[in-house]
Chain A
Amino acid sequence: MTGKQLKQSLVFNIFRLISLSVVAILFVILGFIVTRGIKVVNWEFLTSMPKDQMTHGGIYPAIIGTLCLIAGSMVFAFPIGVMSAIYMNEYLKESFLKKFIRTMTNNLAGIPSIVFGLFGMALFVNTMKFGDSIIAGSLTLGLMALPVIIRTTEEALKSVDDSLRIGSYALGATRLQTIRRVVLPVAFPNILTGLILSIGRVSGETAPILFTVAAYFLPKLPSSIFDSVMALPYHLYVLTTSGTNVTESRPMAYGTAFVLIMIVLILNLLANLVRRIAGKKTKMN
């Protein structure tokens, strides 16, 4: 081996070590949560109300609350985000307006989540008088997820080969028909990726729901979108720091973290499956 080759193999081995250490960190975190969390996770934990000052019982209302918030925020943010991205990528020519919208979208992504929480409280909870409610929390989380959805959808649309659009126009299709019948089906798997990413983000956020929906302790299920709910990330925070008996409820906290991770993981796998099936149908070359 010459000196040059030696140097090269040394450098790449260092790179390899570093990238493996990233994987290692993930596994350490997962292992830490799983080993501690799995002990308390059983059917009762998943399906019953918390009791004895949250040191026993389950986290059922928090699971349902988080699922409601995921669904609510996506119902709101997904169509708006996808439509904005379509407008920007398919209709708007390169212009000041387009640059302006894109810059503002990026700025929106940079706003700290606690600021979204404050804004959501001011607008949805107080001004619009939704109170601490699923709808207020969903709207706040949805706002936060918008830039992620817009950006990933835009990328997905951009990756659709222009020759397909041109081919469609040449057959007499309108712009809208081209988008609906050619562009969207091809971009769909990648648009789903944006949905997955934003679900991951939304389900783990605590700050935006703190003042808009999350209940400290509410051992019943919501009956309408104007009820407040418990949610997994906030419940985790409560169990760890501000419960009445933090030491006793610690195992419950690990269990909650475990469930939260599992929900995100399962949703990811599910969306990946859909993505793969959809991707097969519209596979390019």
Chain B
Amino acid sequence: MSSPLANPQLPPGGRSVTPPSTEVIALPRTLDTSKPGLFHLLLKDRFATAAAIVLVLVGLTALVGPTLMGDLATQQNLSATNRPPFSLAEGWQFILGSDSLGRSMLARLVVATQTTLSVALPAVGISLVIGSLWGVWAGFHRGWRETISMRIADVIMSFPSLLLAVVVLYVFSPSAANIVLILALTRIPIYLRTARAESAELQSRTFVDAARTFGTKPAAIIRRHVIPVVLPTLLTLATLEFCYVMLAESSLSFLGIGIQPPDVSWGLMVAQGRQYLQTAWWLSLFPGLAIVITTVAANVLAAWLRIATDPAQRWRLTLKHKRKRFIARMPVKEVA
């Protein structure tokens, strides 16, 4: 089975005074080769499953909610203004109370879901695609392409993104499209940095060298060897970024330079409820809760994804439920 010829201490010529290290006798231990699918792993994790269900529900609400409740959300009822929540006296639509114009909170929340997601998802998607491709390209080629790319990333990152958005939305009008663009722009460096670091590491590996010796073109190497390896990390990052972008849009809308009325987003609803804080607390509480629930779910899922897509840590998820697994939900990757 094992061969002492593999002994690296053996000098050419064979007459060695150094006996081989006994280490060469040790062969790789048999590895657990069973690799359960991602979905199967997901079902084994209660927290991650719950998070995924929450996110799917939020997504479905955004898709079909406005068609079902769009009219209800704008329907004013001045005889039922600022109704407290958890009462069915005025009908099911007022289960979460009503606002100062007597509109159903529930319906407004549902409609706002679509607005919120229609800003967050495109922003995450655009920055993910541009930042990742740019970063992989910069890291693969190194040299001046890398240096310039990293400088640009530094410039964008060293300036508060909210301030950038504030200035840009001041000069241009605060429309949904502009918010998407500015949020995407400020988040590109996150993917750029990560993708560059991983790609720069990968391009020095032997399997990339091997592909090069076969005459594979850089674009093909990037497509076949680099992107598949980097993708899980980037998707995990995108899940986390979804939280960030959603919170950023909410902040902008709250400050009055994001989504503009009559459109409605969760952040804007918190802002609108603020002046009724003394009399109608639910106007601010529920939209904020909606934000918290969605971001927590995305955070939990991102933490799970990070472990599930990391071959070195994946085994943790195949264990039986234990309290210690809680540690898997940390939002921040450990500093290596």
Co-assembled chains A and B = no
B contacts, CB < 8 Å to A = none
